[in-house]
Structure 1
Amino acid sequence: MDTTTSRRVPLVMGIAVFVLLLDQATKYWAESALTGRAPIPVLGEFLQLRLLYNPGAAFSIGAGSTWVFTIVAAVAVVLLARYGLQPQTKLRAAALAMMLGGATTHLLDRLFRPPGFARGHVVDFIDYNGWFVGNVADIALVCGAILLVLLSFTPTKQPAS
């Protein structure tokens, strides 16, 4: 491992672990505070808190194929970790780390939440005007992806060593 890569490990792992812990903590809160409750308006109907268990992907697509999403999440975690630790700019590493944290926490949900191993449902609780319901991991995944897209429009520089 070169020095550039070894300097990326704390950054990437720190951000990924932060996302994972924040996501799992908010899911724990959502399950304890929102179970059996009607949606709680935060910004009227535009943003509400509503507990759902999602067996599928975004918009509950593929609800009957939870095991497929488990495999996809596992592959994503491996690829994001591998690419995130390669020499690159700190911003690009941070974007990949946000995505790594989100993918890892979704993988953990798939592996260890009911109804069973590799078939677990993801806890969602942030309702965006009825369009979709998500969680903190989804926010990290989207923000990381947007940052990567924005960075693709900037000239690439050699990472600082």
Structure 2
Amino acid sequence: MSELDNTSVNTSRRPLFWGRLSSFVLIVVLICVLVDQGTKIWLVHGFDIAANGPVQALPFLDIVLVWNRGISYGLFQQNSDLGRWLLAGLTVVVSIGLWIWSTRCDTKLVALALALVIGGAVGNGIDRLTYGAVVDFVHFHVGTFSWYVFNMADVWIVAGVVGLLYDSFRNGPNSAAK
């Protein structure tokens, strides 16, 4: 009997769009999108921040309305319909890619991190399709220092990226790629 006969080969294939932690990822994505869209809908339509103007919530935090037609930090501003649809399409492609990655991950930390990024991307993508721009409203500032204006979707994306970075440093350079 050869050595190859004694080894078992795992021939089972993972489904492309569903994995062990996919239910968890889907729930987190839905929560992120609901919280993000809920805050934006309330600010734009319920509170009507456009008519009422900025609100100082804390000495270092204002609630304002900024229509971001670009991507993170207002980069790549797109004032045309073509730009809007290209960014929306990019959001769909990236979200699908991250979802497929999430079907292959084996740890809840990576699954959570990917879910946060997907949830944030979907939340901002909904804005882009609905309004033609992303609704940003949280503005941190201290004295003359002013941070960029962001929303809950941006918080989810940053938290997800931090989680992926933490996992990659905690377990070695190739752990998040698995």
Answer yes or no: same fold by TM over 0.5: yes
What's the secondary structure of 1:131's corresponding residue?
strand
Name the residue aligned to 2:62.
48
2:149 pairs with 111, 118, 133, which one? Answer: 133
Distance 1:85 1:151 in 2: 17
Bigger radius of gyration, 1 or 2?
Answer: 2
Distance 2:25 2:36 in 1: 17
What's the secondary structure of 1:35's corresponding residue?
helix
Name the residue aligned to 1:79.
97
Q: What is the percentage of aligned positions where both structures have the same residue?
A: 31
Name the residue aligned to 1:106.
124
Name the residue aligned to 2:133.
121
- Please state how far the C-alpha of 1:68 moved relative to its aligned partner: 3.0
What does the per-residue CA deviation read over 1:109-153, in whole Å, with 9 as the maximum and x for residues that have no partner?
222x13xxxxx1111111122321111100000000011101111
Structure 1 segments, 4+ long, off by >3 Å, are none
Distance 1:59 1:98 in 2: 18
When normalised by structure 2's length, the TM-score is 0.76
Structure with the larger RCO, 1 or 2 (CA within 8 Å, 6+ apart): 1
Could you tell me which amino acid in structure 2 is paired with residue 66 of structure 1?
A: R
What's the secondary structure of 1:7's corresponding residue?
coil
Name the residue aligned to 1:17.
30
Name the residue aligned to 2:169.
153
The count of corresponding residues between Structure 1 and Structure 2 is 148
What does the per-residue CA deviation read over 1:31-88, in whole Å, with 9 as the maximum and x for residues that have no partner?
12122223211221x2110012211112322222333321221111111111112132
What's the secondary structure of 2:123's corresponding residue?
helix
Name the residue aligned to 2:4.
none
Distance 1:82 1:99 in 2: 13
Which residues of 2 match residues 52-67 of structure 1 at below 5 A?
52-64=66-78, 65-67=83-85
Name the residue aligned to 1:92.
110
When normalised by structure 1's length, the TM-score is 0.83
Distance 1:71 1:6 in 2: 24
Gaps of 5+ in 1: 115-119
